[in-house]
Amino acid sequence: MSAQEETYDRRLPQEHSSAIQSKSAEKSRDKYTERLATPITAFEASASFRPEAYTNVEVTPRLFSHSEYQELVTEYTQTNRYAMFYCKSPRHWIRLTMSITISVESRYWDLLRVAPGRDVLSQQSYGLPTGLNSMVDTFLRDHPDFEQDGHLSLYIGAGPANTALQISRPRFQATEYLKRATKFLYHLNCPRYKESALIQRPLRTQCLNREFITIMQSQWVQDYRFGSDKAQIDASLYVLQVLHCLRGAPGIDPFVGVILDEQSEIIKSFLTKFSSGGDLSDYLTQPVAWERGEKWCRQIVQGVAAVHSKGFVVGFLGSTLNCGIKIDGEDNAVLGRFQTIFTFDPAITGRLPPEYRHLELIEGSLTALPQTDIYKLGLLLWRIAANKHSQPTSAFCKIAGCTTRTGTICTERHIDPIQLPAPGEDTLQYLRQVIAACRAEDPDQRPPACEILKMFTRQANNTLLAETKGDAEEQSSGEHRDMPLEEGKVEDYTRLKNSLADRGQEQNPGGSLQT
């Protein structure tokens, strides 16, 4: 391996992940994440540098499924549909779909059982078995002319002799649909990049994930790929619209630009700043310092207020794992995923707003509104305050002291509360009031996010006032009791006190204010 190759291979994993400085594993999540800045040579920074030309490490995986569902099942066959990405070269990924029909006589009959396709936006992917994945990969290598959004049909019978793979016509022309959408995106006047100028790698290859990690101009960015289904494309276009309209807004994942194909005719993905801190849910697996959790709560509310102020909705709030909230390199919480619907799963309680509970049969997706966002925001803030990573169902039972045995379904009222139990003794009263207001049974009584944000602002003002007063009292006591206070602190304290008094918001739990 050459020295240039060693430099590239050493730099890639360092920039790909954040470094969390910690003295022990138990305290690692309570340390602020820091970016590692790795120096690169002028040659590496040049536009002509192609690192894949200096390494023999192949992109893996070259082929993976990002969503799958069962299309049809009979007594003798079942047909599954897969949406996939395939790497034709390190800088060229294409979308494709595949239908797999499995005979009851096949050894894959039980192995390839997937959930019915009720909602394309709530599917998960567990990938193809290694043997099938290799067979399809080999087939695509042997057909280099296989085009974007092509479709494969695979039949699996009793043995290898009864297996057939062929190219067939796709049902939905995703390429043409995206070409029309791209024409309307030009008026956004956002930065545009060609795919050949970027190095892309899948970030995760399961759980309906179309996220890539991309290196662009010597920095890592998040790459959100468009899927092969119309509903997936429309959902991605909505996220793109929200991120573009809210560029620079606090609490929102910074928007970078879009990726186009080589002919600049079709959009392939859009880019955001890489959130090196990971997902918010990763931090709730162990205790988080209250000051840190309170900061995240305020930043999330700030982001929701920004989204609602432009007429958009979040939709993802309240989810246990897939809440769409990231922690950036400065340890700030940012919103990065949005959708106009929210999915309902009866197995996950605490998320369905009471205004929908009168419906006898609820399954699939429901329309997201600012009121439903606020209701589920209350659950998210509660999870942060209570430090609950597990499913709310088990958390509610544990808090209520439920005696229902493991493996059985609890039917008690505490399992799906509207007003949530107290998150913890150390939770400040104002945050308890915020959570209770968000969970109001009447949607019209839930405060807008901008009003909720003011409750955080008032608390910050009160805290600052108490700290400033404490500093003033400390400096006026002891051996320097007769020395005057520092001029700047007196002016700051007096200005803050008068400002709060003018607004009728002066509070001091420890007693009356004195100067």
Query: Per-residue confidence of the chain (515 residues) as pLDDT tens digits?
Result: 444 444 434 343 443 444 444 444 344 444 434 443 445 566 666 655 565 555 555 666 789 888 888 889 999 999 999 999 999 887 889 999 999 999 999 989 988 888 776 555 444 556 788 889 999 999 999 999 998 999 999 999 988 888 999 998 888 889 999 998 888 787 778 888 888 888 888 876 555 578 888 887 778 899 999 988 898 899 999 999 999 999 999 999 999 999 998 888 899 999 999 888 888 888 887 788 888 999 999 999 999 999 999 999 999 886 655 678 999 999 999 999 999 988 776 666 677 888 887 665 556 678 899 999 999 999 899 888 887 665 555 666 666 666 666 666 666 666 678 888 888 777 888 999 999 999 999 999 999 999 999 988 777 656 555 555 555 555 555 444 443 434 444 444 444 445 444 544 444 444 333 33
Query: What's the gap between Cα 476 and its chain centre?
Result: 49
| Other residues' Cβ atoms within 10 Å of the Cβ of residue 91 | 17
Q: What is the Cα Rg of the chain in Å?
A: 27
- Report the distance separating Cα 467 and Cα 170, nearest Å: 65
Q: Single out the residue of 270, 221, 197 nearest to residue 47, CA to CA.
A: 197
- Report the distance separating Cα 69 and Cα 95, nearest Å: 17
- Report the distance separating Cα 338 and Cα 319, nearest Å: 12
Would you say the C-alpha torsion 165, 167, 172, 174 has a positive or negative sign?
Answer: positive
CB 26 within 8 A of CB 17: no
Residues 6+ apart with CB under 8 A from 337: 239, 316, 324
Name residue 366's beta-bridge partners.
342
- What pLDDT sits at residue 112? 87
- Report the distance separating Cα 90 and Cα 195, nearest Å: 10
- What pLDDT sits at residue 197? 81
Cα–Cα distances (Å) from 246 to 66, 69, 315, 335, 369, in that order, read 28, 34, 16, 11, 18
Single-letter amino acid code for the residue at 39: P
- What pLDDT sits at residue 434? 94
- What pLDDT sits at residue 488? 42
- What pLDDT sits at residue 460? 61
CB 12 within 8 A of CB 5: no
Backbone angles phi, psi at 99, to 5 degrees: -110, 130
Q: Report residue 54 as tokens.
A: 């200096």
**CA distance from start to end of the chain:** 71
- Report the distance separating Cα 197 and Cα 201, nearest Å: 14
- Report the distance separating Cα 267 and Cα 14, nearest Å: 30
SS3 141: helix
- What pLDDT sits at residue 90? 77
Q: Single out the residue of 457, 497, 290 nearest to residue 508, CA to CA.
A: 497
